[in-house]
Structure 1
Amino acid sequence: MTGMLQASRPATRIRYGILALIATGTLINYLDRTILGIAAPALTKELAISPALMGVIFSAFSWTYAASQVPGGAFLDRFGTRLTYMLSVGFWSFFTLLHAAIGSVAGLFGLRLLLGVAESPCFPANSRVVATWFPRNERAIATGVYTVGEYIGLAFLSPLLFLMLAHWGWRSLFLVAGALGLMFAAVWWLRYREPRDSRANAAEIALIVDGGGLVEQPAKQRVDWSAAGRLLRTRQMWGICLGQFAGNSTLVFFLTWFPTYLAVERHMDWLKIGFFAVLPFIAASVGVLFGGWWSDRMLRQGHSPNVARKLPIILGLLLASTIVSANFIDDNRVVIAVLSLAFFAQGMAALGWTLVSDIAPQGMLGVTGGIFNLAANLAGIITPIIIGAIVAATGSFVYAIGFIGVVALLGALSYIVILGDVRRIEL
């Protein structure tokens, strides 16, 4: 009788609380890594940093972030999500706090390198959580919800951050962001559990398992490096990695050079920058949620994963390429509208992590996510340096904006031509 009563109970919704956790973690992650973009105009004056050197400093985070992706994914597969995420958040928040004490370019550069190492397991862990806790037909919207954290923090906090910058200086930004992260590390450790160890009832776990969720994935496993090598040679990995590199190039522009673009190229003052900087990030947040909702809806309606997963990404990258039209517009309000459309489209294209969940070989979610994020964050290395070099050489952002548009088009071609079928890779 007890078993019948348990079977008849409706499924709990513990997975949505878990989703709120990783969405919050992602918000803090991006706030900590990108707050340098807001501080940059004031910081560069205080430390006498040239545009070319600032491009290198912007990219420094991604040097170690990209290099640590595969080791970070292996650590995740070996030690599990709960411990890995807590350590990652704790260390990156501590390094963010230390930014407030820097007095030299060398110190700033070193902290950016350390921040990249500390943040490296975050997105592979997010992907693992979604694959573990969600059935396939809920993964795109779940990915969209946590990915929106990349944008929503800067979208709604930008006016406050610029106000803090104006009244208390750029160091205050790092103090507040670092403290928030340290508090969240404690919350994560107290609240996160794997499905079998959580308060999810049998009905919810059955719903996840029946929908393809990887509830039974071992929490700890050693990495088969020969299998990782074979994974690197698959067409699907090359397709999603090149495509995500392209999408990340647009994102990196907005997270690093965008406030400087508004201040230098568009001659806006601090209050205008604080107001106008909100709009593209809000648009990107809507784009992420719309892309995830549309993808899952198409899957539920019977469309193949090839259509449901790839179409929003391809259309998003094609629309993101329209950013080049900003070069031919004088009215700042229209320019912000164009940039908002491009960032909305980049948000739609940010569903690559859903594809990681769909194609990763069994037991290799951490390594697959690490390889994917390594390729994606090469954009974080290359794009800021190229933009900084272009601005230093020409005194203008015109060719830099053109570069972003061309790369977005190449990303769409990668998903169309290289990726092939969306299916789990068998090694």
Structure 2
Amino acid sequence: MTARPTAPAGQRPTRARFAMLGLIATGTLVNYLDRTVLGIAAPALTKELAINSAVMGLVFSAFSWSYAASQIPGGLFLDRFGTRLTYALSVGFWSLFTLLHALVGGLASLLGLRLALGIAEAPCFPANSRVVATWFPQSERAFATGVYTVGEYIGLAFLSPLLFWLLASHGWRSLFIVCGVVGFAFVLVWLARYREPSDHKSVNAAELDLIAAGGGLVGGAGKGGRIDWSKAGKLLRFRQMWGICIGQFAGNSTLVFFLTWFPTYLATERHMAFLKIGFYAVLPFIAASIGVLFGGWWSDTMLRRGFSANIARKVPIITGLLLASTIIAANFVESNTAVIAILSLAFFAQGMAALGWTLVSDIAPRGMLGLTGGIFNLAANLAGIITPLVIGAIVAATGSFFYALAFVGGLAIVGALAYIFVLGDVKRIEL
């Protein structure tokens, strides 16, 4: 292997890593737009296809069945074939399946496409985590994670009025056509722009030194050998994996509520019209976007000021989960303004708690970033299976979201307890 050149004295680091961060932030925005646009389409779609609340809960959940089941295979594929190819294939196929949603004529085709979409999107977040571990020193990873994670929220935050206008003006099928086309455009940008640090023409030696000094994998995370399923069992022997998996499952339930049932909650429980929903729906997503960036800034700031990784990584997440449990308070107010304020606070807090992917970068064994991220995302997205089903069953049985919000808030408290008592030390696992 050719030795990496040493930076000349006084050379200022380039900032190519932030261009790569912009790419995965955009990819995450497209990812969440495609998987969650069904929530916006749901009130109109359920009427046209004659789907009740319990069945719609099944439809919302179906994406996460295949998404969760594909996490470990997707992570192994990522470790084997690398970030650039895996991400391009993932985005290309998920954009195709999103586009095909516009053609569904009944429950069977809708369920089939949700399952296909879940498989296609599976490698996205393990790949994001891999990019951060490759391109960023540890002292910048929480903020970097916050920046790409904000893509989960920012698309729906600022595009919701446009999407609800499309829904009102051109019908729910137009939403899937627009989102699918956007995804295909992003594939071309990704292939043109993404490279590993050692292969990137805009990176100088000083930036490579900065990344390497902070534990970044400047030579690239590499491509693994044959796919070895036994590695998953070895990882699960460590308490760090159980702590972050339980915590992320619990916190992800709040996110899943907003990405699936939130528009229906406003339409049926609060009796808002579509265009009014589009306005009100923006506010919690903006709050969550701020929460993600604040949590990442807070975590990295504590790390730079000498706090241990245990404190710097755990405190923002635990604080966020405890605050997210305040979603239960929405059950006890009548004013729509007060409800949106409470939900915005809860979603802001959930954004703070979304820094679990930083812990994946911190604890994953070398050469196993994809697999570690896959296991973590499998656990996180069990919430995507369970939460929509439970909420759908509660609403169908009671005609109300009262106990649904209690369920979501209670899980947030469970997540905080997992990070406090189960996680243990934040350090790289050595197999």
- Which TM-score tier does this pair reach, normalised by the shorter chain? over 0.9
How many angstroms apart in 2 are the aligned matches of 1:253 and 1:78?
34
How many angstroms apart in 1 are the aligned matches of 2:120 and 2:104?
18
TM-aligned CA deviation for residue 6 of structure 1: 4.4
TM-aligned CA deviation for residue 242 of structure 1: 0.3
TM-aligned CA deviation for residue 381 of structure 1: 0.2
Q: Which amino acid aligns with 1:123?
A: F
Indicate the residue corresponding to 2:380 in structure 1.
Answer: 376
Are residues 1:197 and 2:199 paired?
yes
Question: What CA deviation, in whole Å up to 9, does each residue of 1:178-234 have, x standing for no partner?
Answer: 000000001101100000000211110010000110123452112443332110121
8 Å CA contact 2:22–2:148 kept in 1: the answer is yes
8 Å CA contact 1:59–1:385 kept in 2: the answer is yes
How many angstroms apart in 1 are the aligned matches of 2:355 and 2:39?
24
Alignment of 1:63-74 (within 5 A): 63-74=65-76
8 Å CA contact 1:217–1:363 kept in 2: the answer is no
Q: Which amino acid aligns with 1:247?
A: G
Are residues 1:257 and 2:261 paired?
yes
8 Å CA contact 2:79–2:369 kept in 1: the answer is yes
Indicate the residue corresponding to 1:266 in structure 2.
Answer: 270
How many angstroms apart in 2 are the aligned matches of 1:128 and 1:7?
30
SS in 2 for 1:361: coil
Q: Which amino acid aligns with 1:147?
A: T
Alignment of 1:352-391 (within 5 A): 352-391=356-395
Indicate the residue corresponding to 1:330 in structure 2.
Answer: 334
TM-aligned CA deviation for residue 176 of structure 1: 0.4
8 Å CA contact 1:128–1:365 kept in 2: the answer is yes
How many angstroms apart in 2 are the aligned matches of 1:149 and 1:37?
17
Indicate the residue corresponding to 1:316 in structure 2.
Answer: 320
Indicate the residue corresponding to 1:59 in structure 2.
Answer: 61
Indicate the residue corresponding to 1:105 in structure 2.
Answer: 107
Indicate the residue corresponding to 2:218 in structure 1.
Answer: 215
RMSD over aligned Cα atoms: 1.0
Question: What CA deviation, in whole Å up to 9, does each residue of 1:338-396 have, x standing for no partner?
Answer: 00000000000000000000000111000000000000000000000000000000000
Question: What CA deviation, in whole Å up to 9, does each residue of 1:313-352 have, x standing for no partner?
Answer: 0000000000000000000100000000000000000000
Aligned residues: 425
Q: Which amino acid aligns with 2:316?
A: P
How many angstroms apart in 2 are the aligned matches of 1:81 and 1:256?
29
SS in 2 for 1:219: coil
Question: What CA deviation, in whole Å up to 9, does each residue of 1:253-281 have, x standing for no partner?
Answer: 00000000000000111121010000000
Unaligned runs of 5+ in 1: none
Indicate the residue corresponding to 1:408 in structure 2.
Answer: 412
Change (3 A) 1:49 1:5: closer
Question: What CA deviation, in whole Å up to 9, does each residue of 1:33-73 have, x standing for no partner?
Answer: 00000000000000000100000000000000000000000
Question: What CA deviation, in whole Å up to 9, does each residue of 1:404-423 have, x standing for no partner?
Answer: 01000000000000001101
TM-aligned CA deviation for residue 20 of structure 1: 0.3
Unaligned runs of 5+ in 2: none
SS in 2 for 1:404: helix
8 Å CA contact 2:7–2:209 kept in 1: the answer is no
* Structure 1 stretches of at least 4 aligned residues deviating more than 6 Å after TM superposition: none
TM-aligned CA deviation for residue 5 of structure 1: 8.3
How many angstroms apart in 2 are the aligned matches of 1:108 and 1:148?
28
Indicate the residue corresponding to 1:47 in structure 2.
Answer: 49
Change (3 A) 1:358 1:107: same
TM-aligned CA deviation for residue 9 of structure 1: 2.6
How many angstroms apart in 2 are the aligned matches of 1:53 and 1:102?
16
8 Å CA contact 1:7–1:202 kept in 2: the answer is no
How many angstroms apart in 2 are the aligned matches of 1:232 and 1:65?
20
SS in 2 for 1:100: helix
How many angstroms apart in 1 are the aligned matches of 2:80 and 2:6?
37
Indicate the residue corresponding to 1:175 in structure 2.
Answer: 177
Question: What CA deviation, in whole Å up to 9, does each residue of 1:126-156 have, x standing for no partner?
Answer: 0000000000000000000000000000000
Q: Which amino acid aligns with 2:22?
A: A
Moved more, 197-206 or 341-350: 197-206
8 Å CA contact 1:256–1:384 kept in 2: the answer is yes
SS in 2 for 1:146: helix
> Equivalent of 2:251, from 236, 247, 250?
247
Question: TM-score, normalized by length of structure 1?
Answer: 0.98
Indicate the residue corresponding to 1:142 in structure 2.
Answer: 144
Q: Which amino acid aligns with 2:224?
A: Q
Indicate the residue corresponding to 1:417 in structure 2.
Answer: 421
Identity of aligned residues (%): 75
How many angstroms apart in 2 are the aligned matches of 1:13 and 1:362?
24
Q: Which amino acid aligns with 1:161?
A: L
Question: What CA deviation, in whole Å up to 9, does each residue of 1:291-313 have, x standing for no partner?
Answer: 00000000000000000000000
Indicate the residue corresponding to 1:426 in structure 2.
Answer: 430
How many angstroms apart in 1 are the aligned matches of 2:264 and 2:100?
23
How many angstroms apart in 2 are the aligned matches of 1:334 and 1:4?
58
How many angstroms apart in 1 are the aligned matches of 2:261 and 2:156?
14
Are residues 1:153 and 2:155 paired?
yes
